[in-house]
Structure 1
Amino acid sequence: MGIESKRQQRFAGVIQQDLAELFQREGNSWAPGAFITVTKVRVTPDLAIARVYLSFLNTKTAKEDLEQIRKKTTEIRFKLGTRIKNQARIVPQLEFFLDDTNEYVEHMDKLFDEISKETRQPD
């Protein structure tokens, strides 16, 4: 994806903030027990599609939780629309993706720990 315009970045920020508040309030009904964070939002140049990256904490079933949220996309989009109706002409289609950056970081940390624990061979 190319460089985003200021307009795209500003609109993505509005969506990210409002979705974060929605997930904070109602996320437990969509993914029980999980703490959901909106890590990133990317918006197409025509502002018609918003790609939302979610991170799930306190859950072992992040992929299943993501599927539950995808099933509720229409409901989430409607609730988002009521929040941003004065700031946007159209409510973008929402596409949800799993942001597994935290898992990747944890995996890399474990690898580095294992490497540092190995006995050093003299050169």
Structure 2
Amino acid sequence: MPGKTISAYADAETARRVEALARIEDRAPSQIAAAALRFYLRLPPDAHDAIRQVEALGDAHDVEVLVETMTRDLLKARSEVSLRKMADAMAERGIGAGLDDEAAIEAEAVRLTRPGRWRR
């Protein structure tokens, strides 16, 4: 998809952090900025307001709590996507079929950990 260059002012600390992250991720600073904008623009207006208000009315601790909360939710979402993808892949291969209760899961675990099971 064709893009368009836009510019934005960033304070020296933000610019330094963008450049450092770009080096760590082996990406251009513009790619970091574009990813941040894509995420921010997907948030609803109420989230934009909440971010601005916490930054304006809160202190550094309040901002850190906001960041930690968002990070926890992002990691939880990533985990849920990964688990769903793994479950879908297992179902496609027929892995885990019939493991609908604790007794079936326990029996399968015993079968899989039986001595000699993984020898060729």
TM-score by length of 2: 0.30
Determine which structure has the larger strand proportion and give its number: 1
Determine which structure has the larger helix proportion and give its number: 2
| Structure with higher RCO (Cα < 8 A, 6+ apart) | 1
Q: Which has the larger radius of gyration?
A: 2
TM-score by length of 1: 0.30
